[in-house]
Amino acid sequence: MATLMDSKSAGFAFSAKLGATRAILRAFGLFGDPFTRLLQGRTDPYPLYEKVRRRGPIHRSHLGSWVTGSHELGSRILRDRTLFLNRTQGGVPGHEMMADIPWNSSILGLDPPDHTRLRRLAQPAFGPRMISKYRIQVEKLCHHLLDQAATRDSFDLIEDFAGPLPLLVIGELLGVPEQYHERFIRAGRKVGPVIDGVKSLKMAREFRAAVDDLDEVFTELIALRAEDPGDDLISRLTTAHGDGKLTTEELLAFCTVLAVTGFETTTNLIGNAVLAMTGDRTQWNLLLDDPDLAPRAVEETLRHDSPALQAQRVPHQDIALAGHHIRADSSVVVLIGAANRDPEVYDDPDRFDLTRENPAEHLSFSGGIHYCIGAPLARMEGETALRVLAQRLPDLRVAGPVRRRSSPVISGCTRLPVTGKAA
């Protein structure tokens, strides 16, 4: 893939543009614009979300984007298929410099009718029959990963458990054979972090190399499945490709996007759940006493510390929202993390509470036509992981300094040392 980062001078131009983007963010941040400050990255964005909410249901940031932290309005915007188009990567520093980022041509970046066509092709892979088929495999994988990690005095929950689990599951879902696992995982780990924004020329180059590597892996697998189809998603999509239902570019982008979206987010769901519940023993003990609370633990984690923090839409005509005139083609950002702690909807929203009675639907899986296709899989992986952790490691607790991401888009830990040994 030839890109603007290939030559030395193009690399210089890329770095200069990245530096300029950062300087603009810093300058507007100094004026106190909460959205600009959020884009600079925060390990705890919630105080800034509060400031966003104080500016009313929706306001215009210094960068020109319209921003809402309201649950009611955010939910309406995400679900409105008549007014809004999806433009996924806007607002994230550095993405505008990577126009050929693969998810722009995937369902994440498309609008109907192309979006509808692609989504229909993948939907059956996430249906109830497939999810219950994967459940047993996920449980086995959880035990297998803990057999290796939990023999040590302490281990990193992200590196040794919550990270590999979703990648292996997606590998299974896509039908990546074992001999490709190492390459797939290595490339997946390099591609995933770009959801956060492109932070350096080195990161951009590594990302490019990893996308090329994933493309190569998928190209080989597509050729294999064309000859010998199985019950996996690559086979399904390859057959559809053969029938002319999707282009080669769409097929490759789809596989890459599934590898990226299903990996980072689910890792963070598991990490965020463990961090919240082991930080408040009463919550962890509730789960130990009643493992059937695992689905609730997943929902409350999604609400309280959503792995996905924002989504963007673009109105295709002038519209009025909460008394403001919003021009066609403006960027409208829904701060999912803020909406999930909207005091108009949730009592005591900053508290993690497994017994919460009104889990009004959080926005962590977005809404409307782009509602996360992997939600049933993520929920099942989260529930299964928490059940197995509670069963195997009832004394689970944090055992060292935790490192959190400071991303405007993704919330989670990059390091979460834990121990299962009794205190």
413 forms beta bridges with: 404
The smaller minimum CB distance to ligand HEM, of residues 171 and 349, is found at: 171
> Residue 262, interface with ligand HEM (CB under 6 A)?
yes
Say what angle helices 8-30 and 201-227 make with each other, to 10 degrees: 110
Residue window 302-341: x/- pattern of binding to ligand HEM, with contact defined by CB under 6 A: -----xx--x------------------------------
> Residue 270, interface with ligand HEM (CB under 6 A)?
no
Instruction: Calculate the CA dihedral of residues 157, 158, 159, 160 and round it to 10 degrees.
Output: 40
Choose among 13, 188, 11: nearest CA to 102: 188
3-class secondary structure, 67: strand
Residue 4 has a CB neighbour count (10 Å cut-off) of 15
CB 73 within 8 A of CB 52: no
> Residue 211, interface with ligand HEM (CB under 6 A)?
no
Q: Name residue 122's amino acid.
A: A
The smaller minimum CB distance to ligand HEM, of residues 265 and 278, is found at: 265
- Judged by CB under 6 A, the residue of 70, 75, 266, 414 near ligand HEM is 266
- Which H/E stretch holds residue 190? helix 181-191
Stretch that binds ligand HEM, among 12-20, 50-58, 318-326, 362-370 (CB under 6 A): 362-370
The smaller minimum CB distance to ligand HEM, of residues 34 and 374, is found at: 374
Stretch that binds ligand HEM, among 138-146, 282-290, 367-375, 391-399 (CB under 6 A): 367-375
The tokens describing 97, both together, are 């410099």
What CA–CA distance (Å, rounded) separates 412 from 43?
9
Nearest approach, Cβ of residue 329 and ligand HEM (Å) = 17
Residue window 105-134: x/- pattern of binding to ligand HEM, with contact defined by CB under 6 A: --xx----------x---------------
326 forms beta bridges with: 319
What residues line the site for ligand HEM (CB under 6 A)?
78, 86, 88, 107-108, 119, 170, 257-258, 261-262, 265-266, 269, 307-308, 311, 364-366, 370, 372-374, 377-378
